[in-house]
């Protein structure tokens, strides 16, 4: 087994331990919530004491905390997320899609919804950011450079939800180009104009906000590279400027962008809460926050687990990639 294999195994063990610790913290936090989920449901006046007892049993609250903890951990690691307390829908279907036996309809997996929107936004933000960052760094000191920096800084510090509200007000409410809520497409499916229309506004807002970060990152990275001697050499050789820019400088400045991209991709699912809430986009974030508000713990647990898992794997992959892409790290 080579050194890389040992490294991968070590990191995998570390990942699993971290996952267990985080899941334990989440369990403890949700146990510490001021209200228990069955208390909310039991306020329904028509329930008999037997039904209430059955409800507590069904939710597992007749067992001790330790038993529940063990069941919870087993369920999480076997991807058996159970059913929603509130609607009775299968959480697995909600997250990954499937034919739902409660509403008798096909449910589009919230995870895929989120990955489509945020994956697209992240990829576009990094693609555009790569070129924009490279160009403005190349033309350092010009009005284009300072203009881009100021615009990027403003968008970087702008609250996403506010930008979303403004977009909704202008393009959905006043102009009526897009739907007010980005969830009506669910009855038409992914391959419909309704879905494209629902995507455009959240995508633009996400792009504007994250483009600021990627552009600045690429610009900084480019400036580092541009100080290197091989760029001077390339220029001195009389290579065309475009060739120096894209072949020699930008490609070498890509490294921090790639690792940050992998982590960003992993964090997309986590970052969705606000944007999805503003646009009512049916993704994991919206699922999480609505479930949290109504103490629908199976959904809360499942979404938190999926989000954490993705973040951890993303970090892991980013570390590996860093080693693969940068020979200087590989030696260590």
Identity of the residue, 204 or 220, whose beta carbon is nearer to another protein in the bound complex: 220
Can you tell me the distance from the alpha carbon of 265 to that of 310, in angstroms, rounded to the nearest whole number? 9
**Residues pairing with 107 in the sheet:** 98
Identity of the residue, 160 or 215, whose beta carbon is nearer to another protein in the bound complex: 160
Q: At what angle do helices 110-138 and 254-279 cross, to 10 degrees?
A: 130
Q: To the nearest whole angstrom, how small is the minimum distance from the Cβ of residue 55 to another protein?
A: 14
Q: Which of 101, 30, 22 is nearest to 61 (CA)?
A: 30
191: helix, strand or coil? coil
Identity of the residue, 125 or 270, whose beta carbon is nearer to another protein in the bound complex: 270
Considering only 107-115, 232-240, 246-254, 303-311, which stretch makes contact with another protein by CB under 8 A? 303-311
Per CB under 8 A, does 292 bind another protein?
yes
Binding-site member from 77, 173, 177, 230 for another protein (CB under 8 A): 173
The single residue listed with the structure tokens 């697995």 is 92
Please report, as residue ranges, which positions from 257 to 286 form the binding site for another protein (by CB under 8 A): 267, 269-271, 273-274, 277-278, 280, 285
Contact yes or no for 181/279 (Cβ under 8 A): yes
Identity of the residue, 67 or 103, whose beta carbon is nearer to another protein in the bound complex: 103
Give the contacts of 321 (CB within 8 A, at least 6 positions apart): 258, 259, 262
Structure tokens at 200: 């455009």
Per CB under 8 A, does 8 bind another protein?
no
> What is the pairing mode between strands 98-100 and 105-107?
antiparallel
Per CB under 8 A, does 194 bind another protein?
no
Can you tell me the distance from the alpha carbon of 116 to that of 113, in angstroms, rounded to the nearest whole number? 5
Residues that bind another protein (CB under 8 A): 18, 21-22, 26, 29-30, 32-34, 40, 43-46, 86, 140, 149-150, 153-154, 156-163, 165-166, 168-169, 172-173, 180-181, 220, 223, 267, 269-271, 273-274, 277-278, 280, 285, 288-290, 292-294, 296, 300, 304, 307-308, 311-312, 315
């Amino acid at each position: 087994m080579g050194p890389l294999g040992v490294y991968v195994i070590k990191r995998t063990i570390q990942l699993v331990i971290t996952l267990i610790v985080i899941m334990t913290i989440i369990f403890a936090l949700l146990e510490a919530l001021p209200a228990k989920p069955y208390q909310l449901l039991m306020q329904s006046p028509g329930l008999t004491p037997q039904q209430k007892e059955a409800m507590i049993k069904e939710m597992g609250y007749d067992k001790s905390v330790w038993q529940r903890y063990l069941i919870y951990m087993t369920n999480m690691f076997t991807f058996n997320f159970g059913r929603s307390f509130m609607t009775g829908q299968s959480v697995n279907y909600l997250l990954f899609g499937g034919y739902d036996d409660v509403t008798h309809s096909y449910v589009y997996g919230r995870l895929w919804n989120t990955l489509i929107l945020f994956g697209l936004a992240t990829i576009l933000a990094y693609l555009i950011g790569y070129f924009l960052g490279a160009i403005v760094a190349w033309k350092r000191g010009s009005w284009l450079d300072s203009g881009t920096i100021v615009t990027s800084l403003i968008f970087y510090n702008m609250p996403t939800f506010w930008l979303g509200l403004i977009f909704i007000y202008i393009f959905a409410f006043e102009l009526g180009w897009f739907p007010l809520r980005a969830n009506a497409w669910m009855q038409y499916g992914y391959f419909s104009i309704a879905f494209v229309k629902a995507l455009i506004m959240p995508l633009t807002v996400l792009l504007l906000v994250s483009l600021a970060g990627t552009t600045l990152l690429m610009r900084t990275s480019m400036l580092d590279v541009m100080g290197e001697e091989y760029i001077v050499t390339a220029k001195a050789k009389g290579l065309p400027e475009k060739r120096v820019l894209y072949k020699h400088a930008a490609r070498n400045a890509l490294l921090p962008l790639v690792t940050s991209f992998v982590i960003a991709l992993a964090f997309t699912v986590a970052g969705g809460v606000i944007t999805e809430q503003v646009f009512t986009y049916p993704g994991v974030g919206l699922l999480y926050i609505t479930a949290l508000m109504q103490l629908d713990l199976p959904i809360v647990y499942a979404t938190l687990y999926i989000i954490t898992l993705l973040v951890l794997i993303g970090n892991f992959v980013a570390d590996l990639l860093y080693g693969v892409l940068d020979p200087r790290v590989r030696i260590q």
